[in-house]
Amino acid sequence: MKRKSDQYWKSNIKIVSSLLVIWFIASFGFGIVFSESLDQIKIGGFKLGFWFAQQGSIYVFVLIIFLYVWLMKRLDKKLSQEEDK
């Protein structure tokens, strides 16, 4: 039992940290640090760096949370199945 919950916690940390890497890249990376270089690329009327800073990062945030909900649901299911065994 103890081992299973440790396992669960480890997988949880892995999910959370990889999602936070995406979070960081989309906002601090594309929206701030590399924003000016991305501005060289244009999509429609948007410079790409500007688009990430004012639009794109927010869409990515929403996707991250729903990805998290889905991954955790799967993980919770796995845990409860193992407990039933």
Partner 1 sequence: MTTQLLTYIFVGVSFALYIGIALWSKAQSTNDFYVAGKGVHPVANGMATAADWMSAASFLSMAGLIAFLGKDGSVYLMGWTGGYVLLALLLAPYLRKFGKFTVPDFIGERYYSKTARKLAVICLIFISFTYIAGQMRGVGIVFSRFLEVDINTGVIIGMAIVFFYAVLGGMKGITYTQVAQYCVLIFAYLVPAIFISILMTGNPIPQIGFGSTMVDSDIYLLDKLDQVTKDLGFTAYTENVKSNIDIFCITAALMFGTAGLPHVIVRFFTVPNVGAARQSAGYALIFIALLYTTAPAVSAFARMNLIDSIQDQPYSTSPSWFKNWEEIGLIAWQDKNMDGKIQYSAGNALEDIKPKYTNNRGDSGERAVENNPNPSNGNEIYIDRDIIVLANPEIAQLPGWVIALVAAGGLAAALSTAAGLLLVISSSISHDLLKKTYMPNITERKELKYARIAAAVAIGIAGIFGIYPPAFVAQVVAFAFGLAAATFFPALFLGIFYKRLNKEGAIAGMLCGLIFTASYIIYFKFINPEINNADYWFFGISPEGIGAIGMILNFSLALVISSLTNPPPKEVLSMVDEIRQP
Determine if 41 is a binding residue for partner 1 (CB under 8 A): no
Asked if residue 38 binds partner 1 (CB under 8 A), the reply is no
Contact 49, 39 (CB under 8 A): yes
Residues 6 or more apart whose Cβ sits within 8 Å of residue 30? 38, 48, 49, 52, 53, 56, 57
Binder to partner 1 among 66, 81, 84, 85 (CB under 8 A)? 66
Residue numbers 16-35 binding partner 1 by CB under 8 A:
16, 19-20, 23, 27-28, 31-33, 35
Q: Shortest distance, CB of residue 56 to partner 1, whole angstroms?
A: 9
Residue 50 in the binding site for partner 1 (CB under 8 A): yes
- The answer to whether residues 34 and 57 touch, using CB atoms and an 8 Å cutoff, is no
